[in-house]
Amino acid sequence: MAKISMYRKVAQAFYARFGSPPQLIVRSPGRVNLLGGHTDYNDGLVMPVAVDRAVWLAVSPVDAPEAMLHAVDMGGAESTFAVDRIPAAVGGWSDYPMAVLWAFLERGLQPVGINALFSSTVPVGAGMSSSAALELAFAYAWDHLSGFGLTRETLAQLCQQAENEYVGVNCGIMDQMIAACGKAGHAMLLDTRTLEYHHFPVPPQAAIVVADSQVRRTLAHSEYNARRVECEQAVRLLREYLPDIASLRDVRPQDLEQYGAYLPEKILQRARHVVTENVRVVRMAQALHAGNLELAGQLIGAGHRSLRDDYEVSIPELDTLVAAAQEVPGCYGARLTGAGFGGCIVALVHKDAVVSLAAHLKEVYQAHFDLTPDVYVTQPADGVSVAAQAVS
């Protein structure tokens, strides 16, 4: 029902704004990362899930070389820019589609002009990757309407480049890859170095619950980039003893045990999180393959402790939500998801415990912080796709 209503919402709004039905409606999902926090920009392993909250983009090509964009959720804000030259960033939501245009032009590909209107059910700033969902929506639509025929993997790389080099956020490839290549009912084990990926079924008795702390990630941008620098420093220092390593992906736990004493304490902590998290992701895939939700939950919980203590990207609000979730019978495990410093936690829960989990999270969080978290029950969804196409 939600998909139908979102389709109708953007289709009707497009008609009201532009005077004709959209030629294409694209659905591009948000994501939750079950495990693999901050490993993606270290060439590591991650296990995200595309979720059933998405950006819905209604779009039609136009003869003029320009894009006219209408953001339903931004009070009807609009942006218009030429598509045959690189637009100047303005520091708002329109930077993301402009970044995608820039990335196409960088590849020598000329996108068509468009009228476009979008709305989203992905919370902004909550760690569910609303930016990657928006990027993939526009990339997929432009690719489809312009006849480029790029693969999903290539579109993900294009969008990562757009966010890195145009928007200026040094994100890894995980968010874009899961938005492009997610599979309903499954989590994805992604090797961010090779872009090889495999899907593992999430057992049907499990639900993925996301709780939004209501704390927006004001420190995430600067601290995210700082963590990336610290990881690069760890590699430079370890290379004196491990000359063949290219990134922390190449460092094993036993390597850190042998050479970790030569690193400054903070740098060792950052490296230890990444190295042990890669091991946890592999074990998580094995747990899902075996349908072992108890082990999967233990690994998720261990991942949170590592993010909290070694990577230091958690905050009291997130720790409180994680602890509260783990108090509920039927919760297998919980952790922060996203960059940290605010946003959401994710909990792997037996579907029969969802109602009690949501109630307990709200009660505990209200008592501690006088705030009520938004709680979303999500299901693993497909990656970006055409939701509907006009029939001539």
**Taking 70 as the threshold, does the pLDDT of residue 307 lie above it?**
yes
Q: In which order are the strands placed within the sheet that holds 206-212?
A: 331-337, 344-350, 206-212, 374-378
What is the reported pLDDT for 165?
94
Helices within the chain (DSSP H only):
2-18, 95-106, 130-146, 152-161, 174-181, 220-238, 253-259, 265-290, 293-309, 316-326, 354-369
Q: How confident is the model at residue 219 (pLDDT cuts 50, 70, 90)?
A: low
Q: Which residue in the block uniquely carries the two structure tokens 């593992």?
A: 200
| Set 43, 52, 175, 212: catalytic member | 175
| Domains of the chain, earliest start first | 2-32+45-184+382-389 (3.30.230.10)
Lowest mean pLDDT among 153-157, 213-217, 249-253: 213-217
**Taking 90 as the threshold, does the pLDDT of residue 221 lie above it?**
no
For residue range 322-344, list pLDDT tens digits in order. 999 999 999 999 999 888 898 88
Residue 236 CB neighbours (<10 A): 11
Lowest mean pLDDT among 107-116, 243-252, 255-264, 372-381: 372-381
Q: What is the mean pLDDT of residues 113-124?
A: 93
142: nearest Cα among 187, 107, 175: 107
Residue 81 CB neighbours (<10 A): 17
**Taking 90 as the threshold, does the pLDDT of residue 141 lie above it?**
yes
Contact between 212 and 123 under an 8 Å Cβ cutoff? The reply is: yes
What is the reported pLDDT for 1?
45
- Report how far apart, in Å, the C-alpha atoms of 132 and of each of 55, 171, 319, 325, 342 are: 10, 10, 26, 27, 18
**Taking 60 as the threshold, does the pLDDT of residue 391 lie above it?**
no
Entry pTM:
0.90
What is the reported pLDDT for 261?
96
**Taking 50 as the threshold, does the pLDDT of residue 392 lie above it?**
no
Query: Residues near 392 by Cβ (< 8 Å), separated by ≥ 6?
Result: none
Query: Residues near 276 by Cβ (< 8 Å), separated by ≥ 6?
Result: 253, 306
**Taking 70 as the threshold, does the pLDDT of residue 354 lie above it?**
yes
Q: How confident is the model at residue 124 (pLDDT cuts 50, 70, 90)?
A: confident
Q: How confident is the model at residue 223 (pLDDT cuts 50, 70, 90)?
A: confident
For residue range 161-217, list pLDDT tens digits in order. 999 999 988 778 999 999 999 999 999 999 999 999 999 999 999 999 999 999 986
What is the reported pLDDT for 3?
64
The amino acid occupying position 312 is E
Q: How confident is the model at residue 129 (pLDDT cuts 50, 70, 90)?
A: confident
**Taking 60 as the threshold, does the pLDDT of residue 390 lie above it?**
no
Question: Is 250 known to be catalytic?
Answer: no
- Count CA within 13 A, CB hemisphere, residue 30: 25
For residue range 56-82, list pLDDT tens digits in order. 999 999 999 999 999 999 999 999 999
Q: How confident is the model at residue 224 (pLDDT cuts 50, 70, 90)?
A: confident
